[in-house]
Amino acid sequence: MHDMATLASDASTLLIEAVEQTPRENWYMASNLDGWTVRDLIAHVTGSATKIVTLIEGGALWGRSEPADWMVDNPAEVLRDLRRRMVESLPDADVDAPRRTPQQDGDVPLRSALAYPISDLAIHAWDLHRSQGRLVDLPDRVLAFISGLVESVPEDILRRPGGFGPQQDVPDGASPTTKLMAFLGRAVG
């Protein structure tokens, strides 16, 4: 069993670092995700971080869903505040408490509801770095968590529209993070 508080903290720290290393002049450049700018990516993960806090605090998730809905003038500041709220509230949260999410029918335990948005933070932190020519490796526990989650999803669901693209080629000697990102459809070469 993964410690959700530690994973959320690690993933949000990765994201904050990626956003802080993204100068405003890069916001409108294309990201490594087709059709998304770096700004769109930052907005999307700001929404993911907000969803994590909303789930922990027992709120409803429906509403804003487009990247433009989540863009703010100082995303790093907003993300630091959301991380603080995660770190403060998640250790005492009942991870077995039922939560309803738009992606799942019926209620699921909080731990299950958090899995995808926490993974989203780390994957998109990597995307932000990659979009700007930087390569990073995910921390081992985050990598293990995301790998386990991805392995648990049937291929047809993983690759459905709006999900992950086809697996990409991996260069010889690639790191485990690079292999995972290639599996998730990211160009890594």
Q: Is 37 helix (H, G, I), strand (E, B) or coil?
A: strand
Residues 6+ apart with CB under 8 A from 85: 53, 56, 57
Torsion of CA 54, 73, 18, 20, to 10 degrees: -120
pLDDT tens per residue, range 70-107? 778 899 999 999 999 999 999 999 999 998 876 667 78
pLDDT tens per residue, range 127-170? 999 999 999 999 999 999 999 999 999 999 999 988 899 999 99
Predicted pLDDT of residue 19: 97
pLDDT tens per residue, range 35-54? 999 999 999 999 999 989 98
Residues 6+ apart with CB under 8 A from 104: 112, 113
